[in-house]
Every structure is written in C-alpha cells, then in structure tokens.
Structure 1
Amino acid sequence: MKKYLPGLALASLLFTTGSALAADYKIDKEGQHAFVNFRIQHLGYSWLYGTFRDFDGTFTFDEKNPAADKVRVTINTGSLDTNHAERDKHLRSAAFLNAAKFPQATFVSTSVKQDGGELDITGDLTLNGVTKPVTLEAKLIGQGDDPWGGKRAGFAAEGKIRLKDFNITTDLGPASQTVDLIISVEGVQQK
C-alpha cells in the first residue's frame, strides 16, 4: 500500500522524467517558480489552504533511467502561511509543527519509479522530529531551454500524509486527519 506525502515538503520538490542524460537541477525559488502548498479539511465543511514560503532543494533528472533520479528538499517550517496570522502562529506552535524545536522539515528520495506517465517518488520525510517514508506522485510539466541560455525542467506532484504519523496529535475531527500536498517546482540545470 502506498503512503503519500502532504505539504511539505516537502519536496518538494522532487521530480524526474525528461532528458537524455542525467542532469542536476536547483529548484528556482528565487524566481518564484516553485511552490509547496497544502490543504486540510476544516471540520469537514471546507478546505483550508496554506503554503511554505521558504524552502530550497535540488533534483537529478534522467528520462532514460528514472531509478537514477534523486530529490532533496528542505523546508523552513516557520515559513508556514495560511493568510491568517493568529492561525499561522497556532500551526507553528508545539500543538502542530513545533517550528521552534524543529525549524526544518526535509524530504530525501530513496527511490523513483516510472508508473505510466507519472513518477512515484518515495523518500524519507522528516517533520516534527519524526522520519517516515512517503510517496509523491509526480508528473513532468515540461523541459527545455530558457531565454537566458540555461535549461529548465518543471514538475507537479501530489501526496498525502497523516498528521498522527508525525506526532501531530491535536484532534481536528475525523475529516481532518490527513493533509494533501500540492507541489509545483521548476528547476534550473546546474553546469
């Protein structure tokens, strides 16, 4: 049974499928072409959306050999933003992310497998001091030359995590036990 990764991570970032040779990419966070978003149900009545504003990462991409692909993402948990200052303060507290004690979450891939037109990226997610394996389902959006003489590749990924798996035990009700991750990254090929 697959385990899925949510918001964070992380991620991350986090993808691979589209070049003739393996290439290393740095996630383009400076150009604001990367997002680590999440959503969770609020009492089963609506969705609460959020994002992490500060993260960094790299990935290796080889269309011909996805098993050689690698992903590494670090997210600063204090950068959580749900567009509501008091809620953000609460979500950063020890009741949820415990950002003061665990200021970073990380995702480090352990395997990448082709699954039709998608990639299953399995890795270790460390969040709130707990490390668990999670899987992201990623899809290549596009790749090629950019207007500045470089090369880029972009991916979208989704996953899920259960809060209790990461020692987040605050009970928000039965509809709010899992977090959906919605990730989009564009990487700049490193020379």
Structure 2
Amino acid sequence: MKRILSTALLATALPFAANSFAADYTIDTKGAHAAINFSVSHLGYGWVVGRFNEFEGTFSYDPEKPDESSVEVTIDTSSIDSNHAERDKHLRGGDFLDVDKHAEATFKSTSFKVSDDKKATLVGDLTLHGVTKPVTIDVAISGMGKDPWGSERAGFSGTTSINLTDYGIKNILGPVSETIDLNLYIEGVKKK
C-alpha cells in the first residue's frame, strides 16, 4: 500500500516539478533575431561601430523564478565586422583580438536579479583575448510569447561597457578608445 501511495504521489508531483524549472531557449541567430553590437570612440572625434556576425548561445528563463536564470554565449572573434575590410583585418590581428590565438570569446552568467517587471541586472564572466573578468549588464526584458509558427520566444536587450586594457589589449588609440560600449539584442526560441 505504501509503495502504491508513493508512486501515486510521485506521478501527481511530476507535472508540477516540470513547471518549476526554467524554460530553456536557443538564441535565434539563424533567423538573425539577435545581435552583439559595439561602439568605440575614434580619437575622441567620432565613433567606430560594428558587430560580431557569428555567435551562438542558450539561456534559461522563468518569469516566476527569474533569479534562477542563466545565459551562455560563445562568439567567433574572427566575425568582427566594422564595415571596413582593412580595419577589420587589423582588429583580427595581434594588436587587438589576435583571433589566431583567441578564436572565441565567451560569456557565462553568474547571477540575474530583476528590479521590476521590465528591468534586470545580469552578472557574468566574460572571457576575451584569453582573459576572464566579471561584467555587469543592464537588461531590459522585452517580452515573451508565441510566434506565428507555434514556437515560444523570449526577448531581452542589454548594455554594458568594457575596458580593453583589462583584457590585455593595449594597442589602442589613446585613453578615449579604451572603453567599448556593447549593445546586446537577444531573442530566443524555447527548446522543445
């Protein structure tokens, strides 16, 4: 009798246990619904803007338990694109990203704290140029729901700044060019 009761309780509890876990999403890079963009001052007179064209990642998110959220992203550093072929070649070289030695940059979250229903703070470890440092990203929660094709989606945007010299990149154009501003646009498709 105890065994039957235990089995019945377990069967009843399983659907609720499944709902208590965060949903897992794949970042939608195939549909070009995600972007990692950057901007940096050029000599203090103007701006160089660009993006990384190749990256992939996943995130887990449950609006009922947002503090349990997590994010992992891998960036192909050779995919840097500032819309200028010669500059991009220089950025891929030893003076900057040194993509032959550091083909990937990665981000792995360590915490996610919601401040209200549309804002959060994401903290994690960014590895760039072989150096790992913590970064804090200000997040805007865009929304969640079904798309016209029956999949479930969730979207976020984020902003942060990093200092290149913190990552061992020292061949910069003066102090005004040390800081890179990052604008992140992430849309994920829920895994089935």
Q: What TM-score results when the alignment is normalised by the length of structure 1?
A: 0.87
Q: AA paired with 2:26?
A: K
Q: AA paired with 2:81?
A: D
Residue 95 of structure 2 aligns with which residue?
A: 95
The 2-side partners of 1:172 and 1:24 are apart by 41
Question: Are 1:20 and 1:63, in contact at CA under 8 Å, matched by a contact in 2?
Answer: no
Deviation (angstroms), 1:171 = 2.8
The 1-side partners of 2:31 and 2:82 are apart by 21
Deviation (angstroms), 1:64 = 1.8
Question: What are the within-5 Å matches in structure 2 for residues 44-55 of structure 1?
Answer: 44-55=44-55
Q: What TM-score results when the alignment is normalised by the length of structure 2?
A: 0.87
Question: What are the within-5 Å matches in structure 2 for residues 1-150 of structure 1?
Answer: 22-116=22-116, 117-150=118-151
Q: Deviations over 1:23-79 (max 9, x none)?
A: 100000000100000000000111110100000000001112221000000000000
Aligned sequence identity (%): 51
SS at match of 2:67: helix
Residue 174 of structure 2 aligns with which residue?
A: 173
Gaps of 5+ in 1: 1-18
Q: AA paired with 1:82?
A: S
More helix by share: 2
Residue 188 of structure 1 aligns with which residue?
A: 189
Deviation (angstroms), 1:115 = 2.3
Deviation (angstroms), 1:114 = 1.3
Q: AA paired with 1:36?
A: I
SS at match of 2:113: strand
Residue 4 of structure 2 aligns with which residue?
A: none
Deviation (angstroms), 1:109 = 0.2
Deviation (angstroms), 1:174 = 2.0
What is the root-mean-square deviation in Å for CA atoms of aligned residues? 1.4
Q: For this pair of structures, how many residues does the alignment match?
A: 173
The 2-side partners of 1:62 and 1:20 are apart by 8
Deviation (angstroms), 1:81 = 0.3
Deviation (angstroms), 1:20 = 8.6
SS at match of 1:89: helix
Q: Deviations over 1:75-133 (max 9, x none)?
A: 00000000000000000111111111000000000111112331111001000000000
Gaps of 5+ in 2: 1-18
The one of the two structures with greater contact order (alpha-carbon pairs below 8 A, sep at least 6) is: 1
